[in-house]
Structure 1
Amino acid sequence: MTIPKTLPRTVIAALRRLIGERVRVCGFAEAIRDQKRMRFIVLRDGSGKVQLAQAKQDDEVMQALTGLTPESALVVTGRVVAAPAVRLGGLEIAVEAVEIVGRAEAPLPIAPESGLEKWLDLRQISLRFPAQQLAFAVQTTLEVAMRDFWRSEGFLEIHSPKLMGTSSESGAEVFAVGYFGRTAYLAQSPQFYKQMAIAGGLEKVFEIGPAFRAEPSFTARHETEFTSIDMEIAWIEDHHDLMALEERWLTHALAAVAREHGEAIRQHFGVELVVPTLPFPKLGFEEAQVLLAERGLPSQKPDDLDSDSEHRLAELMRQRTGHEFLFLTDYPAASRAFYHRRHPDRPALTRGFDLLWRGLEVTTGAQREHRYDRLVEQARERGYQLEPLRDYLDFFRYGCPPHGGMGVGLGRLLMRILGTSSIREVTLLSRTPTRLRP
């Protein structure tokens, strides 16, 4: 039975106001229940679910539904009927015509309780689960709110290239690809290019785009390809300007998510999304080391903090302040990129920071060194060859304002918003050292 397209499609969420009217709906057959004279089908689309009631004496409809299997894609025409006893919104659709436009093989190879690896193998099915649909609705709201903030603050959006002619300042953890007889490299971040934009006078820029790290890491928070959120602004005094900006930006975005999806997040993930208050707590690196040592929990890295130390510090500060966020500031220069600005009175420390959310690092940021001679000096201190850095260093030869910025992991934000244990649960298609499919 082919349904004529005389009716526009109606999404399930809009059916409540159409009781008594004839509608055309499309979706997946989530469940099928047969009775003696009736067949009931739960139809699901991206906006919700509705019960379909099919009279078995209707031979044409019965013929059209021959071989119906769960998760088959259907197009249905029928009349919306009030049905107070039906749990799905107190209404149903009396089926008049139906077409199976995409029959699902049976049985389905996965279920909501299947393991994560199985979910990732069969993403075309696991994405249908309501919690997964919600994850990407949250992602969309989050990004829209971020862009709203940037627009209100006068930022410009850029799209930097992901193919680079040189690997990076260190040459480590990059993917090399063939490029017309030469070697190109996938960008680890838009860092150099957003600084070029600042040198070009754009003053405030942002980008949301892919980044690549050839890092043999198998943790639940790392991917070899991920979505990076980046900002860079000119004419700052120091890194405190950047932290103040991120506080406002992140609070604005999380408030939008809480308004739009707070109840659904509680329902599907059991998480209460708390919109943070300003300002966020801040803790200097040296103070953090002392705090850990006093409690018999010294960091295993003299110039940096391992993930266990970050979790411990975040919990200590949460107990002290009641806040889920913590800025860790003023890291030793030895553990930071060569282009981070140093404290003028303490050159062993940088004007940089990490932002932790419930112990997970979600942001790294810093004021940049914008003076050409100091950049060259700091690169040489690290033993870097200057020729691979020539394009980057040239950005600063013709005048550049003081500036700084940050990179934020979209997947890590979603992990904390939804309380998931793995970044792969909130990633469309995961890429790790062992996963390159589908």
Structure 2
Amino acid sequence: MDAAGGTAWSLFRQVDFTRFCLARFLSGAALQMQNVAVGWLVYDLTQSALALGLAGLAAFLPAIGLALVAGHVADSFDRRRVLAAAYAGNALAAAGLVLCAYAGERSLWLIYALIVAAGTSRAFGNPASQALLPNLVPRPLLGRAITLAATSWQSATVLGPAAGGLLYILGPQTVFGTAAVFFVAASIAIATISHRAPPHEPRALTWGTVLAGIGFIRSRPLLLGAISLDLFAVLLGGATALLPIYAQTILHTGPVGLGLLRSMPGVGAVAMSAYLATRPLDRNVGHVLFGAIVVFGLATIGFGLSTTLALSMLCLLVAGAADTVSVVVRLTLVQSETPDAMRGRVAAVNTVFIGASNELGEFESGLLAAWLGAVPAVVLGGIGTVGVALLWTRLFPSLWRRDRLVEEERSRPG
């Protein structure tokens, strides 16, 4: 039972929250399908690990370049409209990829340009999405709401890659077209949310307002530790950019096998999210967080050394489950410890450290694989992740000692 007298799943009776989760699922599925198609298409054109890494870099650059401005936008305008517009922008980028595929366009730089366009839309959408969710549910249910929203996203990461791999058999234009339709549907779902956030005073775009999120996080070691821990875990332990190489040259599977590999982290994540929705984290949250990062690193090492599809899928499943624990703890801490008027700017910094680090991690993995090979790149990344988790217990003792996930609303020093 939750604080309001119902189960966590009763949150879906709230129409606005349901529409939010539906949009998360649709956009997540679209993004995963598109990633499968782009990854396979780029590697098919180039047979280059570096080219895959550059695709990740193309998605990352807008996120880091526009994040602070995007956070200011999320705190200054209706977050529903910002998020709906971002999904519409992703739909246009997917439509551009459809036209490229139909025209037989083989220009790698045009594909990169469309990836940049999609990354630009996500740069504005991510802070608005993170800042909008706490407005839709009571504070005592925030942890449960974040878990269920994560479930909707991770469900998409299960179905999206597998669907992308299957649809790719019909051609990349089929995958990109389906993604465009899903993004449009997500935009409509967000636009129809009826909730209005508390009004904030209009802000001029100044260095002070833009950088306020960074200053807020720096002043709270708890948040800085949680965000930076995930940053290095994703940066070092992310091997998704190398999955096409594993599928083709190590595990000897085709697009369907690649889709299955991409789905496995989502399978573990959905299972863990469902578990946390019914048995939420209550005590010893800091210890659980660090343990999850260590498990993530060990699973990454196992995947790097695996030469069979079944074992590789199992390792990715475990990694996805462990990562979900980290995501739920981090997002709940960030959103519960931040005033609503600053949530967009703090979420933007969080996006740079975490969301964009996925793409930067793909670039790092591709670059390291080009130098050392795919297997050493993945294994070294997993070892680095475990090392960072152990180091962070000493650098951020307040995070290591954190007990409750959501504290009573009061002034906190961090």
Higher strand share: 1
Larger relative contact order (CA 8 Å, sep ≥ 6): 2
TM-score bracket, normalised by the shorter chain, equals under 0.3
Give the TM-score of the pair, scaled to structure 1: 0.22
In our comparison, the structure showing a higher alpha carbon Rg is 1
